[in-house]
Amino acid sequence: MEFYPYTIPDADVLWRKIQDEDPSDNVNEVKLLPVVRVGPIIKNAAKRAEKERAPPVTRTYHNLVKSGIAWADGFLAHPSLTTFALGMPIYTTGIRYDPANDTAVDVQGKPVVDPVLLGAMRDDAATIEIFHDLSRRNRGIVFRGLIRGPDVCEGEIYYKFRFEGNGLDPWGKLRDLCKDQATVGQLQQEGFVFPLVVADRCWDAISYDAHIDEKGKPTYKVMTHEYPLNELQPPHKG
């Protein structure tokens, strides 16, 4: 079972949720695949710190790494939960982030000044560090990467469905990050090799090898950011 940390701040909370549903005796045989997405993890950590009147948890590189590792370790060490794999949503752009100075450069080597883009690269760098730490300490755990193309497009504008709430978000400022995540082979090219691929939607699984045309037939084009799965249609007049 794969899940994200948006509503699951730690392993104990998940276990309590399971117990509330009166599970069967063999519930611990269910194999779990938590996805280590640092954004919601740090948000949950900040909420807990505020509730417990502890020092505030800000979104620094150090706190992102610390919180992400602690969240994953909680599932790996939980006595009643069976975690067989961890999802690592790496974009690869974090390799151009400098944690010592909290700076980053773009693909042309120019300094990144936009706070949204810098924050996304900081998140990705933290995810990479978390992956290295967890993989070094947990030889028996499977790690899976993430390839995700745009959900829909309108002309040259690409969109993703929001993780929280409804609606679409354009790639916008994060276009380079989204493009890397949508390009098959990008992770391997940067040295990240994952033995497991999980497709949330059947179209994603098919599109690794084929692009489905409007008649539902495969045209066998390798999926890249240039081959979105759906086209936004203009509104009907009348």
For 83-125, write each residue's pLDDT tens digit. Answer: 999 999 998 999 999 999 999 999 899 999 999 999 999 999 9
**DSSP structure class, residue 19:** H
CA 70, distance to chain mean position in Å, is: 17
Number of Cβ within a 10 Å radius of residue 107: 9
Identity of residue 137: R
For 171-201, write each residue's pLDDT tens digit. Answer: 888 887 888 877 767 777 888 888 876 655 5
What average pLDDT does the structure give for the chain? 82
For 4-31, write each residue's pLDDT tens digit. Answer: 998 899 999 999 999 998 888 888 888 9
What is the pLDDT at residue 67? Answer: 97
Q: How far apart are CA 216 and CA 211, in angstroms?
A: 9
